Amino acid sequence: MSQAEQCSQMPAEQRGSCKKHLSIEAALNEVLTQDIWRQKRQSGTLCSNDAKLRCDRVARSFAVLCVLRLGCPLGQVLSTFAALQQAQRFIGTALGVLSTLHASDDVPFQGPGQGNGAGPTGWTAVGAPIINVFQATGCGATFVFALSCAIISFVCHAFINNVRLVRTQPGNDHAGWDLIPDMQEALDHWEGGLCTGRCPGAF
């Protein structure tokens, strides 16, 4: 993650697993976005997304490529994911640990694993290219500063896998319901990005 941040490989929208970033900042940015909409009388839409079973559904090959993209050595990446994929797992309950082995015969375990210490960082590595591709579609919000006329654009407020997608149209002459097709298009792009890295049939 340090190397990814130094090489500017992390999108500015991602607040999770990055140094000097807090989860509360994502929530604050969300509130400020809605405040600007009200002040400018500008229509906008916001949709909360939480990728279900994020760490257990990421295809191993996709995760490996995303981590390699950030500069992690190939040997370490393959060793880590091989250990995770071949690990024997037992379910722990309040009454003790079950003696039955939890295994997948049809589809090997995928992703960094839910509850793994490297899980948030692994998902952040996977989510970064999805956000970058999402930016290329033109979806997101654009604001113009009143005094400097500078333009700020972003596509979401993200903290690891918890993402708030935003969508606006320039100007203040758009009704709220006019943005429904635009937000649906944005959701389709986002869902497509998640499906790209998901292993079909994985737990």
Cα gap 125→66, rounded to integer Å: 6
The pLDDT value recorded for residue 132 is 86
Instruction: Provide DSSP, 33-54.
Output: HHHHHHHHT--EEEEEEE-TTH
Cα gap 171→166, rounded to integer Å: 16
What amino acid occupies position 61? S
* Polymer length of the chain: 203
Helices (DSSP H) in the chain: which residue ranges? 2-6, 23-40, 54-57, 60-69, 74-86, 119-136, 180-196
The pLDDT value recorded for residue 141 is 85
pLDDT tens over the chain, length 203 residues: 777 777 778 888 888 777 777 888 888 988 998 998 888 888 888 888 887 666 667 777 888 888 888 888 889 888 887 877 777 777 788 888 887 776 655 556 666 766 677 777 878 888 888 888 888 877 788 888 878 888 888 888 888 878 888 888 766 677 777 788 888 888 888 888 777 766 554 43
The pLDDT value recorded for residue 198 is 66
Query: 169 burial class (0-12, 13-18, 19+ CB within 10 angstroms)?
Result: middle
Prediction pTM value: 0.74
Cα gap 45→33, rounded to integer Å: 10
Helix-strand-coil split of the chain, %, nearest 5: 45, 20, 35
The pLDDT value recorded for residue 168 is 84
H-run or E-run covering 93? strand 89-93
Residue (of 138, 156, 166) closest to 46 by Cα position: 166
The pLDDT value recorded for residue 81 is 79
The pLDDT value recorded for residue 203 is 37
The pLDDT value recorded for residue 171 is 65
The pLDDT value recorded for residue 55 is 66
DSSP 199: P
Mutual orientation of helices 74-86 and 60-69 as an angle, nearest 10°?
Answer: 150
